[in-house]
A and B are shown apart, each in its own frame.
Chain A
Amino acid sequence: MTTDTNLAPAAPPGSQPRVPLSQRMQGLGGNARQYGIFGALVVIVLLFQVLTDGKLLLANNVAALFQQNAYVMILAIGMVMVIVAGHIDLSVGSVVAFVGGIVAVTMRDFDMPWVVAILIGLAVGGVVGAWQGFWVAYVGIPAFIVTLAGMLVFRGLALVIVGETVAGLPSQFIAISKGSLPNFLGFANNMDVVTLLIGALAIVAIVVSQLRARSSLRKHELYVEPMGAFVAKLVLVAIGIGILTVILSFSAGGTPIVLVIVGVLVVAYTFLMGRTVFGRHIYAIGGNRLAAGLSGVNTRRVDFWIFVNMGLLAGAAAIVTTARAGAAIAAAGQNFELDAIAACFIGGAAVTGGIGRISGAIVGALIMGVLNMGLSIMSVDPSWQMAIKGLVLLLAVAFDLINKRRAGTQ
């Protein structure tokens, strides 16, 4: 990044202006919500670790957690963008079934290589998104209606394509969801070295990027959190990733391939939402659509591309889902839209739009995933699992609202 090269500090360093208390609190308030979700995830993990007699964090269970929930995380990334812009997408579950069917048929009936099938799947997802984006952005039909229609349309089309289960997919394709990175570096004390390496790289990357962000804040004489808190945060993050890495390195395969896919998507989309003009415009549209339009933001184009992107990610989720099932079925993706939407709201997205983060949505998806897995290990009846997840969603949003209201009245 060449962001800071042409900047000279406007005041001599060391003359850091005193930051008013209200502003410090405000900075904390902004981050407190974010820390809160992470804290909730940690609490839930520890709770189930105890309740399941330590089975939750067994290496293979952790690997399975990511393999089972990759689709929610992928969909939640797109969904949080849709929600921040003030829309909703109810069709992603049906789109997953539809695209999954196309991908499977391409491989089995048309004998296409699996790479080509994946590209076709992503392309079809993008086209589906463009179709819905067209109606939302350029015709002006509320996204709720357009995607409700899409939910029916694409479920119907999925049934047409996948009359009966399309199985017998190539093993390389299935490995996307079920496989792990090859352990080509061997093992150290039974730990997969590739996994350890990836974990170490992730920690280094996070520390470096945080340090750079901090020095850039300093350069612009903006408020930075106290050194102690900053270091504590980094240490906690490093410990968290370290623990996860070590656990995964003991699992049967090492690092699941889907975890790498999700990781890359998270980094890419965090950049897109946080650092690009497009991301800023999404937040602007969600905050005040009229103002954004009057300021010269092409609101229609942004809306359109948000849905194209959602379609693309639904295509990716379809590939992951189909690979995991090893076959395409017309009923695939049932309730996926609800999982993704729930993940976003648990992760702190605002129903009114304008607020929400990729990282929040991912943590929201993980909270749901840990609940699922923990309750399953405890062999809680699936009906009760559903009820419990519903209550967690309600409580998460209620907690958020009450917090906000209290902050507002102070």
Chain B
Amino acid sequence: MSGDVPLLSMRGITKRFQAVEALVDVDLDVHAHEIVALVGDNGAGKSTLAKMISGVMAPDTGLIEIDGEQVTIPSATAARALGIATVFQDLALCENLDVTSNLFLGRELRSGPARDDGRMELIARQVLRDLNSRIPSVRSPLSTLSKGQRQSVAIARTLIGSPRLVVLDEPTASLSVGHTAEVLVHIERLRDLGLGVLLISHNMNDVRAVADRIVVLRHGRNNGEFDAATVSHEVILAAITGATASEVESGPLSTLLRR
């Protein structure tokens, strides 16, 4: 991990929805040049944590630090100003607009009173080329693209405005194997470009393929942190489900490992 001060540091994050404790005293660090996978079962609080980073939701208590400085992230715009870009699980794209418009939505370049469509298209093509993505034309409306292509657009969007931290909420859910591989390559590109990446995923194969560090949430609490290079499948599954590693190996969960 590079540097002593993490890019993003969250301490003691707690969030309640009426009687439900979504997150309790959760800690999380993400450094630059690092892909951190946030894993956990359904309802473990992964998406809630992501929403706090991207300014959609505020924690009840807890500290968020960017580069060691305490911040509050009251809105998506504030998150962006801090260099945080998010790809939301339910694709936050406008199907009626073309690729360029979606990439620059909310931060259009201007030239006098008009938009600078020419420059935006140039950058759009540049960014898509950087990601090696296969989009036929930056003027294609989103409604004409495949799901995988849309996800490429969503990820490419994070690169507009040079962010430092990218949060990806289940980027490969509902994608075909081919498209998933493509998206994983995009994610590694993000790290190679020097960004910190927080990858939220269900899919252990994806996580192990690209992550440097794996953080497990269970019932809204931290339940282990592992070096992705050395940890075994069994140990992660055990942390996610709360079973012991040996139970995982021999019990019904072992079938999951063979996927």
Roughly how many angstroms separate A333 CA and B43 CA in the complex, as a whole number? 55
Which of the segments B63-71, B93-101, B173-181, B209-217 contacts the partner chain?
B93-101
Q: C-beta contact mask, A196-226 vs B, less than 8 Å → 1, else 0? A: 0000000000000000000010011011000
Check B24 for interface membership: any CB of A closer than 8 A.
no
Q: Which of B92, B101, B121, B140 contacts A290 (CB 8 A)?
A: B92
Q: Which of A22, A23, A219, A288 contacts B94 (CB 8 A)?
A: A288
- The secondary structure that dominates the B interface is loop
Roughly how many angstroms separate A297 CA and B91 CA in the complex, as a whole number? 16
**Is A291 a contact of B92 with CB atoms below 8 Å?**
yes
**Is B122 a contact of A220 with CB atoms below 8 Å?**
yes
Check A271 for interface membership: any CB of B closer than 8 A.
yes
Which of the segments A172-180, A275-283, A360-368 contacts the partner chain?
A275-283
Q: What size tier do the contact residues of chain A reach?
A: 35 or more
State the Cβ distance, B52 to closest chain A Cβ, in Å: 14
Q: Which of A1, A4, A22, A288 contacts B112 (CB 8 A)?
A: A1
Contact partners of B116 in chain A: CB under 8 A: 3
Contact partners of B95 in chain A: CB under 8 A: 287-288, 354
Contact partners of B91 in chain A: CB under 8 A: 291
Contact partners of B105 in chain A: CB under 8 A: 280, 284, 291-292, 295-297
State the Cβ distance, A172 to closest chain B Cβ, in Å: 32
**Is B88 a contact of A294 with CB atoms below 8 Å?**
yes
Contact partners of A295 in chain B: CB under 8 A: 76, 92, 105-106
Given A2-B112, A292-B94, A220 and B118 contact (CB-CB distance below 8 Å): yes
Check A6 for interface membership: any CB of B closer than 8 A.
yes
**Is B113 a contact of A276 with CB atoms below 8 Å?**
yes
Q: C-beta contact mask, A356-385 vs B, less than 8 Å → 1, else 0? A: 000000000000000000000000000000
**Is A275 a contact of B88 with CB atoms below 8 Å?**
no
**Is A283 a contact of B94 with CB atoms below 8 Å?**
yes
- Report the interface size for chain B: residues with CB under 8 A from the other chain: 39
Given A2-B112, A3-B118, A280-B108, A26 and B96 contact (CB-CB distance below 8 Å): no
CB neighbors of A among B78-130 (8 A):
80, 86, 88, 90-97, 101, 105-108, 110-119, 121-122, 125
State the Cβ distance, B145 to closest chain A Cβ, in Å: 11
Contact partners of A276 in chain B: CB under 8 A: 113-115
Name A291's closest neighbour in chain B (CB-CB). Answer: B92
**Is A287 a contact of B111 with CB atoms below 8 Å?**
no
Contact partners of A296 in chain B: CB under 8 A: 76-77, 80, 105-107
Roughly how many angstroms separate A277 CA and B144 CA in the complex, as a whole number? 23
Interface residues of B (CB under 8 A from A): 54, 56, 76-77, 80, 86, 88, 90-97, 101, 105-108, 110-119, 121-122, 125, 136-137, 139-141, 144
Lowest 10 A-B CB distances belong to which pairs?
A296-B106, A287-B94, A287-B96, A295-B106, A354-B96, A291-B92, A295-B105, A275-B114, A294-B92, A277-B108
